[in-house]
Amino acid sequence: MTGMSPDTPATGAKPVRPRPQVMRLTEAAASRVRELASRADSEIIGLRVGIKNGGCAGMEYTVEYAHDVRPTDEVVEDKGVKILVDPKAVLFLLGTEMDFKVDKMAAQFVFNNPNQTGACGCGESVQLTPAKADG
């Protein structure tokens, strides 16, 4: 097997596709994660992002401090920060951009999600459909 790299498939095997990155962050979101990590009461490695049932549209995003990496977490490293995605949320968040917005009334993480099909009037909850598996 000379000349084969570890990524070269064996004869007859399907080529291995690289896994898509579940989420990406804007510079504003990455900066806010760094700021939160520096101000946290205990050491954190990043933020854990997920979704839960709730709100009038059906689902809500969750964001909390991550103190460790769970075996089932999807680890996203972008712009020098770490985001851990709950495995139940991966298909709902695939392709999402996490941003941080500040305006007169609020400062919050905002999710620009291609899987979002609707939202409630107050913006607290969303309707999501899982991403389609291609190929």
Task: Write out residues in the chain with pLDDT < 70, as ranges.
Answer: 1-12, 17-19, 121-124, 126-127, 133-135
pLDDT of residue 135: 46
Residue 129, CB-side half-sphere exposure with 13 Å CA sphere = 6
Predicted local confidence at residue 123, as pLDDT = 64
pLDDT recorded at residue 120: 73
Which residue type, as a one-letter code, is found at position 8?
T
- pLDDT on residue 89: 92
- Beta-carbon count within 10 A of 74 CB: 18
Report the alpha-carbon distance of residue 112 to residue 99 in Å, rounded.
8
Q: Is there a contact between 93 and 22 (Cβ–Cβ < 8 Å)?
A: yes
* Among 93, 122, 88, 102, residue whose Cα is nearest residue 25: 93
**Distance between CA atoms of 42 and 108, rounded to whole angstroms?**
21
Distance CA(83)–CA(75), nearest Å, equals 6
Kindly report, residue by residue over 34-70, the tens digit of the pLDDT.
999 999 888 899 999 999 988 777 888 899 999 999 9
Q: What is the pLDDT of residue 9?
A: 54
Contact criterion met (CB below 8 Å) for 127 and 119: yes
pTM of the model: 0.76
